[in-house]
A and B are shown apart, each in its own frame.
Chain A
Amino acid sequence: MKQIVGVADMKVSNNPGESIITYSLGSCIGLVIYDPAVKVGGMLHYMLPDSSIDKQKAALRPYMFADSGIPRLFKTAYQLGAAKQRMNVYVAGGAEILDQQGFFNIGKRNYMALKKMFFKNKVMITRQDVGGNVNRTVRIEIATGDIYVKTSGSGEVKI
């Protein structure tokens, strides 16, 4: 079974028959976590770095923002028995348009927001595929923790 993570959405699973997928990450970030000891995996697809621009929307759609979505992803995985120190962390997306700089570079700001939170909370990124000008689709298989990335126009690659 395929669990689909929409835009501004999150899924966590411990069902070995499932894979979790999110499509078309442009400047958005796909954050994938997996604890191999208990085979719990989760995925978040957030769009923006900071929920302070619209608190109402953040309450309604917490997975839209890095600061409100990332803690929820980890906490939901903990509820299924995952532990922070065993977690593999994979980051994809954060693409940018050519010459997109400064505050307008939402892709980079999305990634920086995550890095900042991880630094503060001592979370290490295991692997990442971020930046550039490509559109990515990410999938994780819960049974194995294997992660696959597909960029538009090419095939799916295991990473």
Chain B
Amino acid sequence: MISLQKLVAEVKNLQPIPAVAGQLLAVADHPDSSMADIAKVIQYDPVITAGVLRTCNSAYFGMKHPVESIKDAVNLLGIDQVIELALIKSGSQALGGSQKGYGLDAGEMWKYSVSSAILAKQVAARLSLKGRNTIFTAALIKDMGKVVLEKYVAQASGRIADLVENQHFSFQEAEKKALGIDHAELGAMIAKMWKFSPRMVNIIRHHHLSDETKSADKQIAAVYLADCLCMMLGGGVGSDGLAYRFKDQVMKQLGFSAVDMSLIIADFGTNMQEVEALLQMT
């Protein structure tokens, strides 16, 4: 078991996701916010602004004239795209490293996170859910807990592998059994310490739906489903593999069929260059 005190100390040493992400979310998913409000929040952070502009000017977007301000970017790409770029830029430092305990080299978990966020966006659109930016961001940062937990997972790798391979535990259940905490709980703790909204903390905590009653919350269910899709697609999946639980009843609750699932996978496969373009954003 790891002591909570020790974990708190480690979280304090992490490079946090910049405060602008939380502020941006608060504005972006608020129905009364204007584009100007949103642009103002982004402009306040020079690093994020520079990252967004660089990506806007990359070959992927094929702009005729250079985009020189957040206002330009909003006019040319639309507010949703600019919000996404800013959120991605905010998460790239905190999540871009290697997590050897999960068998992931530098950038692999980040690839998974970005893919997951794009899938979550597709799920949210297909199900006409509210709070799309919150869903997108939750999918992007939900594995934050792995950044801290990875070294403990490495130390307990034999025990965890035994629980998963021989005793029918999911990887998350095995983390909890071997370490006393799993990456979803730890991720929620980190999000709380970084002052993300209670909503965001809640989605991160339940993103594997170990508590099935939480599937009534459609935002949680959407992030969960996007995570399942992302595992199946394989990019950036670590040594925990696909050893998480699939819940048929969540699909039923959401009204999400196997055909819906295939269509989202096909869409994702057609737009892989979007992920590649977003991954250049470091």
In whole angstroms, how far apart are the Cα atoms of A154 and B236 in the complex? Answer: 14
A61 contacts across to B, CB distance below 8 A: 269-270
Q: A144 interface residue, CB < 8 Å from B?
A: no
Q: Give, as a whole number of angstroms, the nearest-CB distance from A148 to chain B.
A: 17
Q: Give, as a whole number of angstroms, the nearest-CB distance from B172 to chain A.
A: 10
Q: Give, as a whole number of angstroms, the nearest-CB distance from A6 to chain B.
A: 7
Residues B238 and A153 in contact, CB atoms below 8 Å apart = yes
In whole angstroms, how far apart are the Cα atoms of A23 and B258 in the complex? Answer: 25
B60 contacts across to A, CB distance below 8 A: none
Identify which of A6, A7, A60, A134 contacts B241 (C-beta below 8 A). Answer: A134
In whole angstroms, how far apart are the Cα atoms of A154 and B258 in the complex? Answer: 32
Identify which of B234, B239, B251 contacts A27 (C-beta below 8 A). Answer: B234
Question: 8 Å CB contacts to A: which residues of B101-126?
Answer: 102-104
How many B residues touch A, CB cutoff 8 Å?
A: 35
In whole angstroms, how far apart are the Cα atoms of A60 and B243 in the complex? Answer: 33
B217 contacts across to A, CB distance below 8 A: none
Q: Interface code A45-57, partner B: CB below 8 Å = 1, 0 otherwise?
A: 0011010011001
In whole angstroms, how far apart are the Cα atoms of A106 and B260 in the complex? Answer: 12
- Among residues of A, the one whose C-beta sits closest to the C-beta of B111 is A24
Contacts A7-B272, A57-B266, A97-B245; A102 near B231 (Cβ below 8 A): no
Question: 8 Å CB contacts to B: which residues of A23-52?
Answer: 23-28, 47-48, 50
B246 contacts across to A, CB distance below 8 A: 96-101, 104
A119 contacts across to B, CB distance below 8 A: none
Identify which of A24, A53, A54 contacts B237 (C-beta below 8 A). Answer: A24
Number of A-B contacts (CB under 8 A): 121
Residues A154 and B239 in contact, CB atoms below 8 Å apart = yes
Residues B237 and A6 in contact, CB atoms below 8 Å apart = no
Contacts A24-B235, A28-B233, A47-B265; A153 near B244 (Cβ below 8 A): no
Interface residues of A (CB under 8 A from B): 6-8, 23-28, 47-48, 50, 53-54, 57, 60-61, 64, 93, 95-104, 106-107, 132-135, 151-154
Q: B262 interface residue, CB < 8 Å from A?
A: yes
In whole angstroms, how far apart are the Cα atoms of A95 and B102 in the complex? Answer: 18
B228 contacts across to A, CB distance below 8 A: 97
Q: Give, as a whole number of angstroms, the nearest-CB distance from B56 to chain A.
A: 25
B261 contacts across to A, CB distance below 8 A: 104, 106
Q: Interface code B248-282, partner A: CB below 8 Å = 1, 0 otherwise?
A: 10010000011101110110011010000000000
Residues A57 and B270 in contact, CB atoms below 8 Å apart = yes
Contacts A7-B272, A47-B266; A97 near B232 (Cβ below 8 A): yes
Q: B242 interface residue, CB < 8 Å from A?
A: yes
Q: B215 interface residue, CB < 8 Å from A?
A: no
Q: Give, as a whole number of angstroms, the nearest-CB distance from A147 to chain B.
A: 18
Residues A24 and B231 in contact, CB atoms below 8 Å apart = no
Q: Give, as a whole number of angstroms, the nearest-CB distance from A111 to chain B.
A: 13
Q: Give, as a whole number of angstroms, the nearest-CB distance from B276 to chain A.
A: 10
Residues B242 and A24 in contact, CB atoms below 8 Å apart = no
A154 contacts across to B, CB distance below 8 A: 103, 239
In whole angstroms, how far apart are the Cα atoms of A24 and B242 in the complex? Answer: 12
Q: B170 interface residue, CB < 8 Å from A?
A: yes
Q: B159 interface residue, CB < 8 Å from A?
A: no
Q: Give, as a whole number of angstroms, the nearest-CB distance from B235 to chain A.
A: 5
Residues A48 and B266 in contact, CB atoms below 8 Å apart = yes
A-B contact pairs, 11 of them (CB 8 A): A27-B242, A61-B270, A96-B246, A97-B231, A98-B242, A106-B265, A135-B234, A151-B239, A152-B237, A153-B102, A153-B239
Q: Interface code B156-172, partner A: CB below 8 Å = 1, 0 otherwise?
A: 00000000100000100
